[in-house]
Structure 1
């Protein structure tokens, strides 16, 4: 099923010490929620250059085609991978942050799920499943955030701490990546959809009973991270930041951004969040989360009520 912002990519499976249940959010105001500065946008896609959240895909704003690049773009940038992202989506933010943090050259192709752009024929040529993130590197197409992160890490030989070469350290990262889909990503996204997206498209108040049920599904996994995993080490898989931390961080920011603070009353999880933000860089974290932290434009629903009705139906089916 394809749906608007916050839709998870895939189901996950239980692995090792990671429990199968979901999680509950609460948290303190702090970190990137405290200051919502909007970073200056620069139109560049080279290594170490700043890519604004909506630079790149001319087709979204100016009627161009997905494969068409901006006039005057550097010749070298034409060889850079294209990343099809909606920064409302946690997996998309993880890919975006990883590429920016590691100075990986890329051309950003924004895909607005709330406008149904993931269902348009031009995007379905990139990913027939109609999901983001997606990558196009020449003639090579790739979907699923974990696969894209691993592809970029290998192609650009990023620092070893992201995906450690040592057998057991790598296995710990793999363990979290296998566990998180159903335990963290899905329930955290559902909280966001219930609290923010469904009321936005339907015009109805938040269903507080349903919200509490969804938070309850998230709680066991949050408790596991706070009371088990982070007791043993400062990060989820090792002594250093890894792909596991990046993916978990963007997932847990989704409900937190709409007032369901998953870090509140969980001191180890809150301290972990601060360590991850510091390691990634507060400015980059703020840049990637700018959209999800600001109110949605109410005129979007009015512009396409048929699309809004379709999204409401899909959201209700998912959350029932």
Structure 2
């Protein structure tokens, strides 16, 4: 979300909610669904769900270039299809794996490893295979719907970036290990990163910070043993 805001110089006030501290569950949290992200307009209009927010901004902020959410009906429909697919496959697999193996422990919770092994990880791997063979398989372009980046590229790339948290979990599959069989996905992800600098790295630095902090803790624990 923040990557798209910054790449298009949108006049948006960014606020970060500390989920672990319960800020999204507070009575005064604006989203009635108690989740992030959430967009609130000055006139009080509010909108949840990242895909809806991205499309809404492309439709209402006229300074956003067309390639982000193309007006051509078939290209736009393809962007919509990819984003719908993301929510029902890649996101489910990614979040089940990352939540249960990496995030739960940091919140003092016990992850469900059998769920990861039986459903989360197979779902994630199948989604990466579909991304490789279907969404990236039929074209020779840099991005999902052409040679210019779209909101679908940002959504999927940011989902995959979260897998970096697994690098700090002993025994968990590493992000590069998960991506290794999918050469087109790896090349595409590099294209998204390169075309979105410096904002892409700035937005994802919190992931690297959390990962590196946990790696440091792991090293410290082994040293004490």
Determine helix, strand or coil for the equivalent of 2:89: helix
Alpha-carbon separation, structure 2, partners of 1:244 and 1:114? 28
Q: Deviations over 1:144-164 (max 9, x none)?
A: 111211122122221111111
1:187 is aligned to 2:103: no
- Could you tell me how far 1:210 is from its partner in structure 2? 4.2
- Could you tell me how far 1:186 is from its partner in structure 2? 1.7
- Could you tell me how far 1:105 is from its partner in structure 2? 1.0
- Could you tell me how far 1:229 is from its partner in structure 2? 2.3
Q: Deviations over 1:13-32 (max 9, x none)?
A: xxxxxxxxxxxxxxxxxxxx
- Could you tell me how far 1:275 is from its partner in structure 2? 0.6
**TM-score, normalised with respect to structure 2:** 0.82
Q: Deviations over 1:204-237 (max 9, x none)?
A: 6x76554333211211111111123212223223
1:107 is aligned to 2:13: yes
1:127 is aligned to 2:44: no
In the other structure, the counterpart of 2:157 is 249
**Paired residue for 2:200, among 285, 296, 310?**
285
Q: CA RMSD in A?
A: 2.0
1:237 is aligned to 2:145: yes
- For residues 258-297 of structure 1, what are the structure 2 equivalents within 5 Å? 258-259=166-167, 260-261=174-175, 262-281=178-197, 283-295=198-210
Would the aligned equivalents of 1:176 and 1:237 in 2 still touch at CA under 8 Å? no
**TM-score, normalised with respect to structure 1:** 0.58
Would the aligned equivalents of 1:258 and 1:293 in 2 still touch at CA under 8 Å? no
Is the alpha carbon distance of 1:190 and 1:284 closer, same or farther for their aligned partners in structure 2, counting shifts above 3 Å? same
Alpha-carbon separation, structure 2, partners of 1:218 and 1:203? 22
**Paired residue for 1:146, among 51, 67, 72?**
51
Q: Gaps (5+ residues) in structure 1? A: 1-94, 299-320
Q: Gaps (5+ residues) in structure 2? A: 168-173, 215-225
Determine helix, strand or coil for the equivalent of 2:15: strand
